[in-house]
Structure 1
Amino acid sequence: MSETIAAGRRICLVGASGLVGSAVIEQSIGRSDLRVIGVARREVLLPKGARLEILVGPTADWPDLIEAAHADVLVCALGTTRKAAGSDEAFRAVDHDLVLETARAARLAGIDRMILVSSVGADPESTNVYLRTKGEVEQALGQMGFARLDVLRPGLLRGKRLEDRPLEKAGQVVAPLADMLVFHARLRRFRSIAAVRLAQVVLALSADRVPGHFVHEHDSMAEILRHRPFQPCPA
């Protein structure tokens, strides 16, 4: 656990050890306007200069840890794959059940704003297990009474993961060229995005208090970054 930083908006981050969660932590370095409190099952390796708390405990204890975070915003970057989980049921236990349990705990703790990292193509009616699960989660969260809910639907995420995902690695190689060939508005939503850029969108949205339910795909996220360019931390 690290030093306390200056007061600002408080972000409770679940999924801190993943690609997006790690990027959120990295992009929060040097920011005096916010404080990140991570909730995780195990200790998280922090980048140099990171000053935040990681509250560690089994998922059964997460409601208490989320309450202890005293956060203004819940950022949920939880996610796995069917291959990593080992079965459809194990995948759903994380990407559906744990996400919703975390959201319910946040609401009970008085957190009324949430940012969810979902996926492009999320649809509760999809025949694809991954996309259907993501869509069902989005649908359920929309009924939980958050004053503001931001759903991010990125395409392929670019960045270095700790776990091995061969197909994703291959996709990252060809993604830049594929992105250049996608111009039509309906297809641009499938463009890839660097995890650090997605993290910058998360931090920008964490400051928004206008109530509502917002879904952000590629063009929307690019617009957020254009109008609120990221200010890097001082060296």
Structure 2
Amino acid sequence: MAANSAIVFGSTGLVGSYILTNLLSTGPYTPVTTISRRAPKPSSPALNAIVDADVSKWPAALTGLSPAPHVAFSAIGTTRAAAGGLENQWKIDHDLNVDVARAAKQAGVKTFVFISSAGSDGLLATSFPYSKMKKGVETTVKELDFDHGIIVRPGLILGEREQGRFLEGLAMAAVRGLGFLGFKDSVAQDAEVIARAAIKASQLADEGKAPSKFWVLSPKDIIRLGRTEWEHKEETK
């Protein structure tokens, strides 16, 4: 196990791309490995980008790394429309994340960080398929008993996606209006702030400052760690 290295899954998505760029720019972990269907946009001597369109091979690619990464970040996710139906979305949002988490445990990864959703807790977790997917992954991460399992539960994720989502766009416009009333932070968070909170939490875990072995970050925690307490505040949205 490499004491100061990381791996990022979902590095070409909205939150995952910010996790990658912030890891490369702030340098808490070196090297940084990505496993993705297409090459991530950033380039760096510290980046080891593995490209494989066959997602079923990703867990084996992780266990094949030597030495194993110290921390793994998973921001894997898709939409029902992009996946071609609920069943295919479940294979990505749930099954692939679970397989990656299990591979990380097998490889010897110490800290596993999963980008989940605020809807994964409470009534939504038993009523909506998307929330069930996220909750299932969270449960797996907890059961795998990593040295540290970190679950990041953002609300609506604000940011510009490569492929726009009409209804999500309307929701983001409405949420931004809440900023004038002081409610925005509790409802939605910027993708980069979410990414930075994930990184900050992993660092605190390494320093023995995590509040618990299995740590769930609420939207309030995300704002605190990813914006208020982020060391490079001048760069934060």
Distance 1:102 1:233 in 2: 34
Residue 227 of structure 1 and its aligned partner are, at CA, apart by 6.2
Equivalent position to 2:193, from 197, 219, 222: 197
On the 8 A contact 1:200/1:230 being kept in 2, the answer is: no
Q: Does 1:15 align with 2:16?
A: no
User: Which runs of at least 4 in structure 1 moved beyond 4 Å after TM superposition?
Assistant: none
Structure (1 or 2) with the greater helix fraction:
2
Match of 1:95 in 2: 93
Match of 1:142 in 2: 142
Identity %: 26
Q: Does 1:31 align with 2:32?
A: no
Match of 2:81 in 1: 83
Per-residue Cα deviation, 1:70-92 (whole angstroms, up to 9, x for no partner): 21011000011112212111010
Residue 225 of structure 1 and its aligned partner are, at CA, apart by 3.7
Distance 1:63 1:128 in 2: 27
Distance 1:177 1:8 in 2: 44
Distance 1:8 1:33 in 2: 11
Distance 1:105 1:152 in 2: 20
Residues 1:232 and 1:32: Cα distance change in structure 2 (over 3 Å):
farther
Match of 1:159 in 2: 159
Distance 1:216 1:99 in 2: 18
Match of 1:60 in 2: 56
Paired AA for residue 152 in structure 2: L
**What's the TM-score, normalizing by structure 2?**
0.84
CA RMSD of superposed structures (Å)? 2.6
> Where do 5+ consecutive residues of structure 1 fail to align?
1-6
Deviates more, 1:127-136 or 1:218-227: 218-227
In structure 2, the residue corresponding to 1:114 is in which secondary structure? strand
On the 8 A contact 1:8/1:32 being kept in 2, the answer is: no
On the 8 A contact 1:8/1:33 being kept in 2, the answer is: no
Residues 1:85 and 1:112: Cα distance change in structure 2 (over 3 Å):
same
Per-residue Cα deviation, 1:186-231 (whole angstroms, up to 9, x for no partner): x964x21111111111221221233611111111122224663232
On the 8 A contact 1:37/1:54 being kept in 2, the answer is: yes
Match of 1:3 in 2: none
Residues 1:166 and 1:230: Cα distance change in structure 2 (over 3 Å):
farther
Give 1:219-230 correspondences, 5 Å limit. Answer: 219-225=220-226, 228-230=229-231
On the 8 A contact 1:75/1:116 being kept in 2, the answer is: yes
Residue 94 of structure 1 and its aligned partner are, at CA, apart by 0.3
Distance 1:193 1:110 in 2: 32
Equivalent position to 2:37, from 34, 37, 41: 41
In structure 2, the residue corresponding to 1:46 is in which secondary structure? coil
How many equivalent pairs are there? 223
> Where do 5+ consecutive residues of structure 2 fail to align?
none
On the 8 A contact 2:193/2:227 being kept in 1, the answer is: no
